[in-house]
Amino acid sequence: MLSERRLEVLRAIVQDYVGTEEPVGSKALTERHRLGVSPATVRNDMAVLEEEGYIAQPHTSAGRIPTDKGYRLFVDRLAGVKPLSTPERRAIHNFLDGAVDLDDVVGRTVRLLAQLTRQVAVVQYPSLTRSSIRHVELLALTPARLMLVLITDTGRVEQRVIDCPAPFGETSLADLRARLNGRVGGRRFADVPQLVQDLPESFEEPEERATVSAVIATLLETLVEEHEERLMIGGTANLTRFGHDFPLTIRPVLEALEEQVVLLKLLGEVKESGMTVRIGHENAYEGLNSTSVVSVGYGSGGEAVAKLGVVGPTRMDYPGTMGAVRAVARYVGQILAES
Amino acid sequence: MLSERRLEVLRAIVQDYVGTEEPVGSKALTERHRLGVSPATVRNDMAVLEEEGYIAQPHTSAGRIPTDKGYRLFVDRLAGVKPLSTPERRAIHNFLDGAVDLDDVVGRTVRLLAQLTRQVAVVQYPSLTRSSIRHVELLALTPARLMLVLITDTGRVEQRVIDCPAPFGETSLADLRARLNGRVGGRRFADVPQLVQDLPESFEEPEERATVSAVIATLLETLVEEHEERLMIGGTANLTRFGHDFPLTIRPVLEALEEQVVLLKLLGEVKESGMTVRIGHENAYEGLNSTSVVSVGYGSGGEAVAKLGVVGPTRMDYPGTMGAVRAVARYVGQILAES
DNA sequence: CCTGGCACTCGGGCAGGGCGAGTGCCAAAA
DNA sequence: TTTTGGCACTCGCCCTGCCCGAGTGCCAGG
């Protein structure tokens, strides 16, 4: 168990290193933080902290820098979440209030987060599976080709083209459309399958049944297709503030950011409620081994329908970043609930 | 006027420099290209080319590198468009054929282009203004709130929420929906305004008229909103292959890529038909002064509905890049025409 | 347990020197 | 007139050695 003062020293090291980007030595520490002890004492504490794996020296006779474990302790026990300033809050509101549709909300959110945190922002579109259906629209492109448009309560729109086994009359179409909406309108995705399974049987003509089956199959498929989860990223220019040894640092991060799968998994691991901070090697994907990810769920009402977060160097301002992420997530949730 | 051989020398310089990324000297040139003359002769030619501004030396007693003007000449007169290899073509087809909807097409195109050219790819979504309307859908969210969904022949979907001045009955809604589609279905955007301007008058109730006017206003607004032109970018990880003096090179490019406005303008300047190559300082935006942009329009049928291109270092393989861009644009056009 | 002192380590920055690629010019050859 | 080989020169790059200072670990005394 570390003494109170040792924790204080660790906190000071983290803060200074985040600020200066340079290894911090015992003398500088005592000068900048009124710890009330001499450099020599701090040195002893540092030796212990290093022994325990919370800090390390890049090379002998340099200052110390926090390890992933050190940041972890800092985040868990030493740092709170810094609430945003009033002007920052106002900025969030102003920026987000002008959004006209879902794309716009997500786009603005990404830019906002990137700007506030000066890091890379990632925002997932509200997921299909946790939303409910606002409306289903069916229209004939040609007699043998239908288009299915699905509108969710979060404003998301999905479309699919369906090739009909047999031509489908306009009246039958209207009929189907009405029945479909009657059954699934306003229902949650999870409930849909059992609500529509007997629909084909209620049509008399065998050809009609075939088409209805095809439509329903497509609908269910669309609901399930998790892989369609989209996301938007922004603020990549902030990566250039990362470090000085660019190619090696920045490259894998950019690559990771292009792999939707990786990113989705990253966000997907977020616990249902509350914020998650993954530090350095805690990230499964090795390209992100020298970055930290701060993420949180957001949603209309109490439940999270998607996630958002930022990706930055392990050496980041955790309290500030966490504050910004949380504030933005909350407000986006409100916006979605209103619309 | 430059002699044939001098042009040949310029071509050789461009090719070698693109390959090696290093200034190329007279001796190396004669060794790698059977020019049939001695290094001394080449030196004389180089002196002339430098005088004319086609090449430059980074510092005294180094080899030469092409200037923007040199690349320009190379692209205009010395290089053709390199057709893709059969496997490459096949790759394009395989990759693009699996797309399920417009988002998917655009997403795949971006990844494909980035991979083929090993540069940053930019693809604009098919523009609204040049498409025609496939269908307009109107549905009531609440009695006093409508949602307008617009589906274009390129598969794009736009949605808007409308607050009604007065409640609007379900039958009136069906009526309006039918009339609207009857008038504008299948018509080009440009023709829409005059087709709907008298619609409100055909309704009797004053409240209904007000609502119909609101709907039509929203519709027209949606059609006009050019700023809604969206685009997708990919392959940013390729930027890390740019140069060695990262922060200065890469930063402004990443910033430019995040500015939709800048990018749209960039693509927007493309001439209607044919490919455009903007080299270095030919780009208005100064962050892109050391990059080149190769772009071309694409579309279903003969007409371009949007543009796509790649952004890379001025030192790029122009023939290959141009070949890839052209091939991809053509095939995307086909895909859109089919769907 | 804290503190001041002291010897030691090691990375970063700076200066100097050799190396080599590449140039420009010139006089001779084609 | 153009091409060629020769030659002296320039200048950036890289390697080396050096010094400096920040920072450490240890120890003896408070």
Q: How far apart are CA B160 and CA B225, in angstroms?
A: 12
Lowest mean pLDDT among A42-46, A212-216, B173-177, B269-273: B269-273
**B40 CB-to-strand D distance under 7 Å:** yes
pLDDT > 70? residue A301: no
Stated in angstroms, how far is B30 CA from D6 C1'? 18
pLDDT in tens, B229-255: 788 999 999 988 876 666 667 888 999
pLDDT beyond 70 at A247: no
**Closest C1' nucleotide to A63's CA:** D23
Residue A170, CA atoms < 13 Å, CB-side half-sphere: 3
**Domain segments of chain A as ranges:** 4-78, 86-125+230-338, 129-227
Q: Give the three-state DSSP class for A61.
A: coil
Does A158 or A93 have the greater pLDDT score?
A93
Sort out which chain B residues have CB atoms less than 8 A from A246's CB and list them.
240, 246-247, 250
HSE-up of residue A195 (Cα within 13 Å, Cβ side): 17
The domain B86-125+230-338 is placed in CATH, from the list 2.30.29.30, 3.40.50.2300, 3.30.450.40, 2.60.40.3140, at 3.30.450.40
Rounded to whole angstroms, how far apart are CA atoms A190 and B163? 30
- A134 CB closer than 7 A to any strand D atom: no
Backbone conformation region of residue A289, classed left if phi is above 0, alpha if psi is from -120 to 50, else beta: alpha
Whether B89 has a pLDDT exceeding 80, the answer reads yes
Confidence check: pLDDT of B82 > 60 = yes
Q: Across chain B, what does the average pLDDT equal?
A: 87
Note the pLDDT tens digit of each residue in B3-13: 888 999 999 99
**Using CA atoms, how far apart are residues A299 and B41, in angstroms rounded to an integer?**
72
Q: Is the CB of B174 under 7 A from strand D?
A: no
Instruction: Answer whether any strand C atom is within 7 A of the Cβ of B88.
Output: no
Q: What is the pLDDT, as a whole number, of residue B99?
A: 84
Check CB contact under 8 Å for B157 and A134.
no
> Given pLDDT bands bounded at 50, 70 and 90, which one contains residue B61?
confident
**H-helix segments, chain B:** 4-20, 26-32, 39-51, 68-73, 86-97, 102-117, 170-184, 192-196, 206-224, 246-258, 260-268, 318-338
The mean pLDDT value for B209-215 works out to: 87
Statement: residue B126 has pLDDT above 80:
yes
| pTM reported for the whole predicted model | 0.83
Instruction: With H, G, I as helix, E, B as strand and everything else as coil, classify residue B231.
Output: strand
Confidence of residue A181 (pLDDT cuts 50, 70, 90): confident
Q: Which helix (H) or strand (E) holds A242?
A: none
* pLDDT(A163) > 90: no
Asked if A155 and B159 come within 8 Å (Cβ–Cβ), the reply is: yes
CB pair distance less than 8 Å for B230 and A103: yes
Residue of B nearest to A114 (CA): B258
pLDDT above 60 for B226: no
Q: Which residue has the tokens 């407000």?
A: A331
* Closest to B148 measured CA to CA, from B211, B215, B221: B215
Do the chains contact at A134 and B155, CB–CB below 8 Å? no
- Span A89-95, average pLDDT: 93
What integer pLDDT is reported at residue A321 of this predicted model? Answer: 97
Q: What is the spatial distance, in angstroms and rounded to an integer, between the CA atom of A242 and the C1' atom of C4?
A: 39
DSSP B45-114: HHHHHHHTTSEE-SSTTS-BEE-HHHHHHIIIII--PPPPPHHHHHHHHHHHHT--SHHHHHHHHHHHHH
Portion of chain A with pLDDT greater than 70, in percent: 94
Spatial distance between the Cα atoms of A78 and A71, rounded to a whole number of angstroms? 9
Q: Does domain B129-227 have CATH number 3.30.390.60?
A: yes
Q: What is the pLDDT of residue B209?
A: 85
pLDDT value of residue B272: 61
Token pair listed for A36: 């009330």
8 A C-beta contact, residue A78 and residue A281: no
Pick one of 3.40.30.10, 1.10.10.10, 2.70.170.10, 1.20.140.10 as the CATH number of B4-78: 1.10.10.10
Spatial distance from the CA of A32 to the C1' of D19 (Å): 29
